[in-house]
Amino acid sequence: MSLIKTSEEIGKLRVGGRELAIVLKKVAGLVQPGITTGELNQVAEELIAEIGGVPSFKGYGEPIPFPTGLCTSINEQIVHGIPSQRVLQSGDIISLDIGMEKDGLFTDMALTVPVGKISKEAKKLLKVTNRALVIGMKQCRVNNTLGDIGWAIQQYVEKNGFQVVRDLVGHGVGHAVHEEPTVPNFGVRSRGMKLEPGMVLALEPMVTIGDYNIEYEDDNWTIRTRDHSLSGHFEHTVAITSKGPIVITSL
């Protein structure tokens, strides 16, 4: 599978990415105390179907395929939370992670939003994690390396007193849900694969207030912090071009 996407493919990805961003914005707008994560997933899947897409997470993985189109990870849950009848409470934070296949191409994005009124520390976590994604995307330039991306994210996060998860990483995307290369949120400048025009990467800083070690919940999908500290997660699909990075999943 080629890591490089053609200009035509990047054009199609931009269309699909913008549509996915609209879907996620609508779903995030429904987040409030009293709604269930299952209800959020139902809306997400219906909106994707309306635009002619397919939820790329649903049915993904072995031996237990992921059952829904949306990942809903709450508080100490980092990623891969399975929507259910769980009711959101004021003070929670929730990561909404969504992927879509359209015209044979895949986009992926996530954001973390507050539920009602949240603590000052949680607000800072969301702000820092989102900013870390922006900082990482600025490194997505031809002849930079994957190490440059990870280093920039790690330095900013740790400067603000938080930690980046080591056991979970970003990835290539476009021809499949997950492709090479892996894109760590930590690293050393000038190390790792050089970025080339046509590469499409899913950058996704996962940041914790406490320790960065992880554990799985009993469903074998949901991953949370081992010390149960809060975690934030933001993600965009980004194309590397000779003119600079293009955020595929931007509105």
Delimit the domains of the chain by residue range.
Answer: 7-247
Phi (first) and psi of residue 248, to 5 degrees: -65, -40
Number of Cβ within 10 Å of residue 123's Cβ equals 13
**248: closest CA among 112, 129, 137, 107?**
107
Share of the chain above pLDDT 70, in %: 100
pLDDT in tens, 172-199: 999 999 999 999 999 999 999 999 999 9
pTM metric for this prediction = 0.97
**175: closest CA among 238, 101, 247?**
101
Least confident of 60-64, 149-153, 201-205, 212-216: 60-64
Q: How far apart are CA 95 and CA 232, in angstroms?
A: 7
> In the predicted model, is pLDDT for residue 106 greater than 80?
yes
Q: Give the residue-averaged pLDDT of 156-160.
A: 98
Q: How high is the pLDDT of residue 1?
A: 52
Cα-only R_g, the chain: 17
**110: closest CA among 130, 123, 96, 99?**
96
Q: How high is the pLDDT of residue 196?
A: 97
- Please state whether 31 falls in left (phi above 0), alpha (psi between -120 and 50) or beta: beta
Please tell me the CATH superfamily of domain 7-247, with its number.
Creatinase/methionine aminopeptidase superfamily (3.90.230.10)
Helix, strand, coil percent values for the chain (each to nearest 5): 25, 25, 45
pLDDT in tens, 212-228: 999 999 999 999 999 99
How many CA within 13 A on the CB side of residue 46?
A: 8
Q: How far apart are CA 74 and CA 80, in angstroms?
A: 10
